Amino acid sequence: MGNKQEELETCVRLEGYDLIGITETWWDSSYDWSVGMEGYRLFRKDRQGRRGGGVALYVNDQLECVELHLGMDEELTKSLWVRIKGSTGAGDIIAGVCYRPPDQGD
């Protein structure tokens, strides 16, 4: 994990991204110490009781944001949504990341 995490952090610093979405995280509580990124707030949903399929969203910590709970059926998909407060005179932005397992029925 360390090498991929270092690559991600280097890319983020070079490009100055405000949002980074990741699917298929395969994270669980054992990764809590290593998945944070300086300058970003991390939102994540790990897939409980199964391997793979988690989602994560890093948001620049200079942006005012809050996680949204949309009441969607978590058994069908893993999804994570945040509302980012827009600048004065601009509307808010809603951003999300979703994962649907390939073995999931229609």
Give the CATH number of the domain where residue 55 resides. Answer: 3.60.10.10
Q: Alpha-carbon distance 11 to 13, whole Å? A: 5
Q: Which stretches of the chain drop beneath a pLDDT of 70?
A: 1-5, 27-34, 49-52, 71-77, 103-106
In a domain, 32, yes or no: yes
> 99 and 75 in contact (C-beta within 8 Å)?
no
In a domain, 104, yes or no: no
> φ and ψ at 90, to 5 degrees?
-110, 150
Q: Which domain holds residue 46?
A: 2-99
Instruction: Tell me what pLDDT residue 54 has.
Output: 81
Instruction: Tell me what pLDDT residue 73 has.
Output: 56
Long-range contacts of 81-84 (CB under 8 A, 24+ apart): 82/43, 82/57, 84/59
**HEC-encoded secondary structure of 23-67:** ECCCCCHHHCCCCCCCCEEEEEECCCCCCCCCEEEEEECCCCEEE
In a domain, 66, yes or no: yes
Sequence-separated (6 or more) residues with CB below 8 Å from residue 28: 46
In a domain, 105, yes or no: no
Domain count, the chain: 1
Instruction: Tell me what pLDDT residue 106 has.
Output: 53
Q: What is the pTM of this model?
A: 0.73
Instruction: Tell me what pLDDT residue 59 has.
Output: 92
Instruction: Tell me what pLDDT residue 16 has.
Output: 81
Instruction: Tell me what pLDDT residue 83 has.
Output: 93
